[in-house]
Structure 1
Amino acid sequence: MANATLLAQETSSAQKLDQLKKAINQQKTTIKQVNKQREELEKQLQKSDLAISQVVKAIAKTKQQLAETQQKLTTLEKQQTELLKKKNQQELLLAKQLRAAYSSGNHDYIKLLLNQESPAKVQRSITYYQYLNTARIEEIEQFKTTIDKLHQVKIEQMDQIQKLEQLQQAQSKQQKEFSQEKNQREQTIAKLSKQLLNDQQTLEKLEQEEANLKAALARIAKLSQQEESLKGLSRLKRKLSWPVNGKIRRSFGSSKQGYLKWKGVLLSAPTGRQVTTIHNGTVLFSDWLKGYGLVTVVDHGEGYMSLYGHNQALLKSVGDRVETGEPIALVGQSGGQEQSGLYFEIRHNGQAVNPKLWCR
């Protein structure tokens, strides 16, 4: 009887162990599927962020071209007004000259000679007529030049009006593309939000993103060529301006998740606001980075770098030299952020330092 009971207990334990193994395997499979889905969604997020960046830059360029075209049209309208005024003045002058010539009598030089007046008087009359004729010819040539210029202005006006229409059509198309990409991004964010992560998974995700950032900065630091003209930031403590005006939403050193701390600051700012570099330097990185979205990294020399993340669009490319206060990006919420803002770091020899020690 005891043996039967022991056997039953062993069988039950084996069944429970088997069920537990199956549950663990099922959980591993589920986690694997969720991670795969999340990776696909993050790839889609990257694609949407980059597409939005391109459209935003195209819209900005079109807007600038529209302003330039409008200015050109305004200039042409002023030229047209001046030329029409000049044309009217020349018409009046020519008409006056013709009336004066008509009222002075017959201009037939042969008849003048046959009148048998004194040679001196004849010579004076001929000289006078030649003078009037020369003046009329000059006025006619000026009139023709004015007419030609007016014609050219009208042609250029038509070209600019056509260009304006094309730019307006392009802008409309770009706005439509922007709306589509924005909707796609919002859908992706919504899907990512549905995949709720527990504290451990969130910590692991943030650890991986931080490791990716550190590795990326280490790679670009090796590639950077120190320029003698870049003197670093060591002498500029509390002298630099923040890259964007906004309230600090997350402070350097505050808790991020678990033992992880913020290595920079998160500044609240509206989408589209210009992000400016804190000091002159060279752009070392300008691309999308998981967890940080569209990122620009500027080398300031002497081991100092500044990082600007979660941008909507990047305005500079790798290798570009930038000056203090120069626009380098537009504020956004790339990288999966639900609110717009700028993530900003300062690093020295790879180690994050408190931006508040440099910016005022």
Structure 2
Amino acid sequence: MQKSTRLLCSALLCLSFGGTACLSLAASNARTQQKTQAEAARAELQQKLKALKTDINKTENAKDHANDALAESEQAISEADRSLRDLQDEQIQTEDKLKQLLEQQLALKTQVEKQKTQLSAFLRSQYMRGDSDRIKLLLSGDNPNRINRDLQYMGYVSQTQAKMIESLRSSLQAVEKNTQEAQDAKADLDDIAEEQKQHKEDLEKQKKKHAALVSQLSDKLYAQKKQADNLQKDEQRLSNLVSRLNQLIEEQAKADKARAEQEEKQRQERIAAAQKEKARLAEQAANDKKTGKKPAPIKSASNNASNPNAIDADEPPKKNRVETTASGEFDRLKGQLHLPVKGEILARFGTKRGDGPSWKGLFIKAAEGTEIKAIASGKVIFADWYKGYGNMVIVDHGDQYWSLYSNNQAVLKHVGDTVKTGDIIASAGNSGGNEQSGLYFEIRHQGRVFDPLNWIVVK
């Protein structure tokens, strides 16, 4: 009944205000409903976006943790590889020592047996001769002193040989003891090396798991564009590192120059003092000549030659120079250097790097563990893990020429180490999140990158 009444009222309203008003009211209700639906959809979309951002943040955090774990694995593998190499060197040294001890032991045994045989033969002959021989000697009518001396000599010989055998036995026991200790040490080294090898294998397995997780997370986050951004950031960080190192080198050069200038100033002051003293002595000699006194000898610059502390006023000042880690002639080696590792060059200087910046060096394909060699002599100024580059080594060749070696499996040198051309400084790998095993290699001068192939002998 109430529903019918409402319908009737609505009909009367429509009749009173006309059909147009009714249509307008219906449209208004429809728009209100659409607005409500749109707001609900927007709120739902905002919730989805918020949830998606939360998921992205979680995934990015998970990827960061995976990258950190991967970095730790790579650093641990580098340390394990270095320890394993040290243990192998110790094993070789212990085996050499053990070989020498065994040879010494064999020689002593042979000598002991020889002395025992001689003593046994001597005692047997004495036993066969018996006391009658000694009595015959006493009654032979010979010189009694000679007889007594001969008898004492026979006793002395047997005692001496017995002492010699005892000494040899003592030496043999000492050698056997050292041999046993060397064998025990070798066994311990073998056990430690085996444990270290197993530890490295476990680390390699962990590294593969971390790398697989990083790869999955990278795919989920459309890693190609993100990787390009990370590469630019990594490049900026490396450029900052280069700038800081250049600044340190320049500061050192300024300090060396200031020290050289101070030394030159002190040298000039000593020269002036020497000249002043020379003039004073000359004046004194002239005065002594006038007064009739015997003049004191004046030491000339030539007389000072025998004095290592003398200063020659005509000595030219030493040329100011900045000491470098190498000969300072690295630029002369252009076109004569060799690649740090043999392998296929997968990426060349200046070529496009996916969606990221161009390659600033070479990427050379090489199996894990392949030896990486220094292209020239110099000093190691960086040897550590670096984000985006993995285990990295930088060698300063003097005159602000650097060579960079990254993505290594293991770093085999420390900061401050001096290296020569061809020295092994690292082993190839894929640290830094690289999928391909190999070496990333750069040559820089004053922080600027150059095409390494212009410096390499092309075969």
State TM-score, norm by structure 2.
0.71
1:46 is matched with which residue: 71, 92, 98? 71
Secondary structure of 2:330's counterpart equals: coil
| CA displacement at 1:15 relative to structure 2 | 6.2
Paired residue for 1:169? Answer: 191
State the alpha-carbon separation in 2 of the partners of residues 58 and 169 from structure 1. Answer: 14
Moved more, 242-251 or 298-307: 242-251
1:31 alignment partner AA: I
State the alpha-carbon separation in 2 of the partners of residues 198 and 67 from structure 1. Answer: 47
User: Would the aligned equivalents of 2:408 and 2:429 in 1 still touch at CA under 8 Å?
Assistant: yes
Identify if the C-alpha distance between structure 1 residues 162 and 138 changes in structure 2 by more than 3 Å, giving closer, same or farther: same
Deviations 1:221-275 (A, max 9, x none): 3334563452152010121222122221221222113351111111122222221
State the alpha-carbon separation in 2 of the partners of residues 128 and 90 from structure 1. Answer: 21
Secondary structure of 2:150's counterpart equals: helix
Secondary structure of 1:191's counterpart equals: helix
Identify if the C-alpha distance between structure 1 residues 81 and 258 changes in structure 2 by more than 3 Å, giving closer, same or farther: same
| CA displacement at 1:133 relative to structure 2 | 3.7
Paired residue for 1:148? Answer: 170
2:28 alignment partner AA: A
| CA displacement at 1:23 relative to structure 2 | 5.1
Where do 5+ consecutive residues of structure 2 fail to align?
Answer: 1-23, 253-321
Aligned-pair identity in percent equals 30
Identify if the C-alpha distance between structure 1 residues 198 and 271 changes in structure 2 by more than 3 Å, giving closer, same or farther: closer
Larger gyration radius, structure 1 or structure 2: 2
1:65 is matched with which residue: 64, 86, 90? 90
Paired residue for 1:284? Answer: 381
User: Would the aligned equivalents of 2:77 and 2:409 in 1 still touch at CA under 8 Å?
Assistant: yes
Aligned residue-pair number: 357
Paired residue for 1:352? Answer: 449
Identify if the C-alpha distance between structure 1 residues 296 and 160 changes in structure 2 by more than 3 Å, giving closer, same or farther: same
State yes or no: 1:262 paired with 2:331: no
State the alpha-carbon separation in 2 of the partners of residues 148 and 21 from structure 1. Answer: 91
Stretches (4+) displaced over 4 A: 5-10, 12-27, 111-114
User: Would the aligned equivalents of 1:53 and 1:312 in 2 still touch at CA under 8 Å?
Assistant: yes
Paired residue for 1:30? Answer: 55
User: Would the aligned equivalents of 1:332 and 1:342 in 2 still touch at CA under 8 Å?
Assistant: yes
Cα RMSD over matched residues?
A: 2.8
Moved more, 216-225 or 297-306: 216-225
Paired residue for 2:323? Answer: 227
State the alpha-carbon separation in 2 of the partners of residues 208 and 299 from structure 1. Answer: 24
| CA displacement at 1:287 relative to structure 2 | 0.9
User: Would the aligned equivalents of 2:231 and 2:356 in 1 still touch at CA under 8 Å?
Assistant: no
1:79 is matched with which residue: 85, 92, 104? 104
State yes or no: 1:4 paired with 2:28: yes
Identify if the C-alpha distance between structure 1 residues 15 and 233 changes in structure 2 by more than 3 Å, giving closer, same or farther: farther
2:126 alignment partner AA: A
User: Would the aligned equivalents of 1:232 and 1:304 in 2 still touch at CA under 8 Å?
Assistant: no
User: Would the aligned equivalents of 1:220 and 1:285 in 2 still touch at CA under 8 Å?
Assistant: no
Secondary structure of 1:345's counterpart equals: strand
| CA displacement at 1:113 relative to structure 2 | 8.6
Name the structure with the higher strand share: 1
Identify if the C-alpha distance between structure 1 residues 206 and 107 changes in structure 2 by more than 3 Å, giving closer, same or farther: farther
Where do 5+ consecutive residues of structure 1 fail to align?
Answer: none
Match runs of 1:310-349 below 5 Å: 310-349=407-446
Paired residue for 1:56? Answer: 81
2:198 alignment partner AA: K
1:187 alignment partner AA: K
User: Would the aligned equivalents of 1:232 and 1:303 in 2 still touch at CA under 8 Å?
Assistant: no
2:123 is matched with which residue: 91, 98, 123? 98
Identify if the C-alpha distance between structure 1 residues 295 and 198 changes in structure 2 by more than 3 Å, giving closer, same or farther: closer
Paired residue for 1:308? Answer: 405
1:347 alignment partner AA: R
Larger relative contact order (CA 8 Å, sep ≥ 6): 1
User: Would the aligned equivalents of 1:311 and 1:330 in 2 still touch at CA under 8 Å?
Assistant: yes
| CA displacement at 1:45 relative to structure 2 | 1.0
1:227 alignment partner AA: E
State the alpha-carbon separation in 2 of the partners of residues 129 and 254 from structure 1. Answer: 100
State TM-score, norm by structure 1.
0.88
User: Would the aligned equivalents of 2:137 and 2:147 in 1 still touch at CA under 8 Å?
Assistant: no
1:92 alignment partner AA: T
State the alpha-carbon separation in 2 of the partners of residues 234 and 5 from structure 1. Answer: 83
Identify if the C-alpha distance between structure 1 residues 135 and 242 changes in structure 2 by more than 3 Å, giving closer, same or farther: farther
State yes or no: 1:243 paired with 2:340: yes
User: Would the aligned equivalents of 1:306 and 1:344 in 2 still touch at CA under 8 Å?
Assistant: yes
User: Would the aligned equivalents of 1:112 and 1:122 in 2 still touch at CA under 8 Å?
Assistant: no
Deviations 1:128-173 (A, max 9, x none): 3344444434333322221111101111111112112212221222
User: Would the aligned equivalents of 1:294 and 1:312 in 2 still touch at CA under 8 Å?
Assistant: yes
Secondary structure of 2:413's counterpart equals: coil
Secondary structure of 2:206's counterpart equals: helix
Deviations 1:45-67 (A, max 9, x none): 11111111121122222222222
Paired residue for 2:227? Answer: 202
Paired residue for 1:124? Answer: 146
